[in-house]
């Protein structure tokens, strides 16, 4: 098994076990170097005071896609900034997909674009995010 496959397997396993991802019903469905796609169904308990998807729920989905794409290189990476624009509200029952793509990587800084769409292809939110790559490998990797 190649090193990148071990990294991907470790991240996929970690997301499956992550308490917050479980609570939000998030599922990592695609992972490659600098790229990921995460799925979440918008449920009633994610509504805001207007009965629409709470911005925090959408942000959580974005953050999960960002986290997995940024860490897909095997080096611990942490968010520096995230700028989210909410385009259209999601409807109850919508299946939402956040897709993160690395658009730039130089030294320790990586730039990502994350789009959230519903299962009908409507754009729900967009995000530009910056990550800082630390010097150490992901702490849950085991190359032995």
- pLDDT at position 144, please? 57
**Segment 28-32 long-range contacts (CB within 8 Å, at least 24 positions apart):** 28/64, 28/68, 29/97, 30/99, 31/68, 31/69, 31/72, 32/8, 32/72
- pLDDT at position 107, please? 86
Binning pLDDT at 50, 70 and 90, where does residue 1 land? low
pLDDT single digits (tens) 4-46? 889 999 999 999 999 999 999 999 999 999 999 999 999 989 9
What's the mean pLDDT in 59-82?
97
Q: Between helices 3-17 and 55-70, what is the axis angle to 10°?
A: 160
The domains found in the chain, sorted by start residue, are 3-137 (3.10.129.10)
């Amino acid at each position: 098994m190649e090193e990148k496959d071990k990294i991907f397997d470790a991240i996929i396993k970690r997301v499956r076990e992550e308490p917050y991802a479980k609570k939000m019903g998030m599922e990592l469905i695609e992972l490659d170097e600098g790229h990921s796609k995460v799925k979440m169904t918008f449920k009633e308990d994610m509504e805001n005071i207007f009965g629409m998807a709470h911005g925090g729920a959408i942000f959580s989905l974005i953050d999960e896609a960002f986290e997995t794409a940024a860490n897909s290189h095997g080096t611990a990476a942490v968010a520096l900034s995230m700028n989210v624009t909410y385009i259209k509200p999601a409807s109850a029952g919508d299946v939402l997909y956040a897709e993160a793509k690395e658009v730039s990587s130089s030294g320790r800084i990586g730039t990502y674009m994350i789009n959230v769409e519903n299962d009908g292809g409507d754009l729900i939110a967009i995000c530009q995010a910056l990550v800082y790559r630390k010097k150490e490998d992901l702490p849950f990797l085991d190359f032995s």
